[in-house]
Amino acid sequence: MSKFTILFAIARKEFVDHLRNGWIIAVGLAFAIFSLLITFVGFGFTGSVGIGQEQSTLFSLINLVIYLVPLLGLLLSYDGIAGEHERGTLDLLRSYPFNSLLLLYGKWLGLFMVLASTLIVGLTAPAIISIVSGHTLQAWTVLLVTSVWVGIVFNSIALMFSVLILERSRLIAIAIGIWLLFVVLFDLGVIGLLVSTEGNVPMDLVNLLFYLNPTALYRLLSIDLIMDQAMIQQLGLAGQIPPTVALIAAFAAWTVVPVVIAGWRIRRLGK
């Protein structure tokens, strides 16, 4: 049996197991409902009920993704390896004649499939409404790709801690703490820094802080790729968004580095 066959078999099992779990379907439907409400009401920059302007609708969806998708990614993955360990199946799986890294990568791929499916369900309906209304497909495709990507980043982070800690009771608290840190506390910290210094903070330092938070990278990258210059100026970000290549490189690092650490750790578990 080839490595790719084993990899996709593990990924398929992970995908099917989560699909059988009713809450993931409920999350997809809830995301779809919220997306539709945002599309119809167009809150944020429009004051009337109806299909809002595309730019304001997309910006509101970006904010929705920041709150929901990282939490979804963390809750999907926090017990990916620790759960196998507590059920006593990790040692059994590692006794099979394949590299333990395949188990990790297979789970990561399966979680990617689950997350992508959930977001496709959640964004398809508002995308169709927007396209039928005369808007383009490109912006919605970019939104889907970046939204899945930020979820995968948090999948990677959660899998890393799942291998490092191996205790589900501690991991759920860590997952919630990571979400609070990156989604809520980070923005409050940056605002507090700017207020306390009366805005006298070098822009390079502010950009460095953004690189330390994957949700901030997601927001900036999505705005950079989706919004027009008028909208970017209205948001007060004209000339303040780092280069696109730098944002993508930092996003890629947040995706890969946790998996590399998890791979290093899972290989040492059997030694």
The percentage of residues in the chain with a pLDDT greater than 90, rounded to a whole number, is 34
| Residue type for position 262 | A
What torsion do the CA atoms of 221, 227, 228, 232 make, to the nearest 10 degrees? -70
Helix axes 22-41, 100-132, angle to 10 degrees: 30
Q: pLDDT tens digits for 234-252?
A: 877 777 788 899 999 999 9
pLDDT at position 50 over 50: no
**CB burial class (10 A; 0-12, 13-18, 19+) of residue 37?**
middle
Rounded Cα distance, 226 and 120, in Å: 18
The sign of the torsion formed by the CA atoms of 189, 190, 191, 194 equals: positive
Q: Are 215 and 146 in contact (CB under 8 A)?
A: no
Average pLDDT, the chain: 83
**CB burial class (10 A; 0-12, 13-18, 19+) of residue 12?**
middle
Average pLDDT over residues 204-208: 77
pLDDT at position 45 over 50: no
Rounded Cα distance, 140 and 188, in Å: 29
| Residue type for position 176 | I
Domain segments of the chain: what residues? 3-268
The percentage of residues in the chain with a pLDDT greater than 70, rounded to a whole number, is 89
Rounded Cα distance, 99 and 117, in Å: 28
pLDDT at position 109 over 80: yes
Phi, psi torsion values for 160, nearest 5 degrees: -60, -50
Rounded Cα distance, 80 and 104, in Å: 9
By three-state DSSP, how is residue 173 classified? helix
pLDDT at 169: 84
| pTM of the complete model | 0.89
pLDDT at 47: 47
Q: Which of 42-56, 97-111, 192-206 has the highest mean pLDDT?
A: 97-111
pLDDT class for 90, splitting at 50, 70, 90? low
pLDDT at 98: 62
